[in-house]
Amino acid sequence: MTGGLIVSLYLCTLAFFLGLDVIRKVPPTLYGTLATGMGAAAAISLAVALPAAGATNTAAGAVLSVSAIAVASAGVVGGLVRSKRALRDRDGNGGEKQ
């Protein structure tokens, strides 16, 4: 185990403050894509769902963790594809207006 609960708690607390600083001024044209990108990033829970599925030894654990993996990976892939597409539309000629 690399982290441990207390170390993760430190990192979590520091990252709360970092998150406030990362987003300062955002042009209105990027509100939608940035929000979608954040949604994708929030699906980082995938990184614990995957090993949980391997470690589970109960039926309930298996169902829950596999559902978690499916939902989280759908969030990552769907979110990133959507924000990439919206940005391409913005940059390309004749794309959709947002």
Partner 1 sequence: MTSLLRTFAIPVLDIASAVLFIMGLKLMGRARSARRGATLLGLGFVVALVGTAVEAADLDPKLALAGLALGIGIGLLAGYGAKIGSSVGWGPALAAAGGVAAALVALAAFFGVEAWPIGGALALQGGLRGAALGLAVVSGAAALGLGLFAGFGPAAGGSGQPAGTALAASASGLASAMLGVALGNPIVATVGALVATAGFSLAAIVGKALGRAPLDIVGGTGRKGDGDGYANVKACGPEETAMVLETARKVVMVPGYGMAVAQAQHALADVAKLLRSRGADVVYAIHPAAGLIPGHMNILLDEAKVDPADLRAWEAANQELADADVALVVGANDIVNPAAKDDPQSAVFGMPFLDVGRARTVFVVKRSLRPGAAAVKNQLFERANTNMVFGDAKKVLQAIGLELKTQMKAAA
Among residue numbers 74 through 93, which ones bind partner 1 (CB under 8 A)? 74-91, 93
Q: Map residue 44 onto helix, strand or coil.
A: helix
DSSP 3: S
Tell me how many degrees the CA angle 56-79-27 measures, rounded to the nearest 5. 140
- Tell which positions 11-40 bind partner 1, by CB under 8 A: 11-20, 22-40
For partner 1, the binding residues in 41-80 under the rule CB under 8 A are 41-58, 60-62, 64-80
Minimum Å distance from CB 82 to partner 1?
5
